[in-house]
Amino acid sequence: MWVGANPSIRYEPNMLTGNEMSAEDVVEFLRLMEENGIDFHLDGGWGVDALLGVQTRSHEDLDIAVQHKDVPALRGLLEARGYRESSSPDAKDFNFVLSDSQGRKIDVHSYTFDSQGSHLYGIAYPITSLTGTGMINGHPVKCISAEWAVKFHTQYEPDETDFQDVQALCVRFDISLPHFYKKFLR
């Protein structure tokens, strides 16, 4: 078991049937992007763990938010390392998954803002959502802010893992648990 930022909250790792994105894989990706000048923010499960500063569970993929103008360079760097786009009927040029032969997956969410910070294209991240900072294995990283990570977790039907993520963020950042998640407290 991993212990989250609040020692009274305990987490069971996900039992994945495939491979996972380890913290070392994430740091390797972070360094590759830094070395090549590609700015991005962690989203999803690794984004939550970055905000908490500790890995709370295993992760099947790495979700990233990146400016759409950087997608060609990102694709090129990852394709040179054996990543290929995973086939999906839901894939779009601003939301797709790249995976390698080891089963590592990077879920790419791209966006474009105008000069005033208004959404123009891609995933509709509010500009204020791209203000979080966190740590993965002692490596600083930009991520979705805690407040927005909680809000984003209310846009679909949650499961127990979502509840654990949201509860940990709410405790750590003094955010009220959304009513949407109260059903898990029984």
pLDDT tens, per residue, the chain with 186 residues: 222 333 333 333 333 335 799 999 999 999 999 999 999 999 999 999 999 999 999 999 999 999 999 999 999 999 999 999 998 888 999 999 999 999 999 999 999 999 999 999 999 999 999 999 999 999 999 999 999 999 999 999 999 999 999 999 999 999 999 998 988 987
> For position 185, what pLDDT does the model report?
87
> For position 18, what pLDDT does the model report?
55
Q: Please check whether residue 161 lies inside any domain of the structure.
A: no
Question: Count of domains in the chain?
Answer: 1
Q: 49: which DSSP letter? A: H
Residue at 19: amino acid letter: N
Q: Please check whether residue 183 lies inside any domain of the structure.
A: no
Q: Please check whether residue 21 lies inside any domain of the structure.
A: yes
Q: Please check whether residue 157 lies inside any domain of the structure.
A: no
Q: Please check whether residue 42 lies inside any domain of the structure.
A: yes
The CATH number assigned to the domain holding 94 equals 3.30.460.40
Neighbouring residues of 22: CB distance < 8 A, sequence distance ≥ 6: none
Q: Please check whether residue 39 lies inside any domain of the structure.
A: yes
> In terms of residue numbers, what domain contains 137?
2-146
pTM of this prediction exceeds 0.85: yes
